[in-house]
A = this chain, B = another copy of it.
Amino acid sequence: MKFDTQKQIRFHHCDPAGIVFYPQYFYLLHEAQEDFLAHIGYPEHELIASGIGVPIVDLKTEFLGMCRYGDEINIRLSLSRIGNASLGMRYEVHSASRIPDAGKSLKLLAKTVVVCSEVPHGKVLPIPDGLRQALLPYLDTELEENKS
């Protein structure tokens, strides 16, 4: 299973060239992570209130095309790995761009590793069992990075 969430490119995401300034994509990806955790029954604000955070330790991003103010985007999230304490996450941003030369819809591909940690001190914690069960359906064993 994959998780899809729709967002709009807002005025404040865009830079003087009229396109999304790249750090803004990471707010959108984090919103997708928030939407995903809420969808599987573990809203991040409740996780944090219970003393569990998921800070990022590794990020790889390919910027494949430009998004512009007014674009509707779909963010697709799947899991590449569920470890003892760490999670590999994969995000695809597709856009239905209004710009003719923007035929390719895949605009961004990101892979993150987050680690289950105690808030606020950052001590690594095993992923709680209930959360692990809720995550499992989204593990995609076909992802390139899982193939030997």
- Enumerate chain A interface residues (CB-CB to B < 8 A): 10-12, 14-19, 21-24, 26-27, 30-31, 34, 43-46, 48, 53, 55-64, 66, 68-70, 119-120, 122
- Closest residue on chain B to residue A123 by CB atoms: B101
- Closest residue on chain B to residue A31 by CB atoms: B10
Complex: how many Å from CA A103 to CA B68? 32
Do residues A10 and B26 form an inter-chain contact, with CB atoms below 8 A?
Answer: no
- Closest residue on chain B to residue A35 by CB atoms: B8
**Chain B contacts of A11 at CB under 8 A?**
15-16, 21, 30, 34, 44-45
Complex: how many Å from CA A81 to CA B135? 40
**Chain B contacts of A44 at CB under 8 A?**
11, 69-70
Do residues A69 and B16 form an inter-chain contact, with CB atoms below 8 A?
Answer: yes
Complex: how many Å from CA A18 to CA B120? 8
Q: Nearest 10 pairs between A and B by C-beta? A: A45-B70, A23-B26, A45-B69, A59-B61, A16-B18, A23-B23, A14-B16, A17-B120, A12-B27, A22-B56
Q: A12-B15, A19-B120, A57-B64 are in contact. List 14 more A-B contacts (CB 8 A).
A: A10-B27, A10-B30, A10-B34, A11-B21, A11-B34, A12-B23, A16-B48, A16-B69, A23-B23, A23-B24, A43-B70, A45-B68, A46-B70, A60-B60
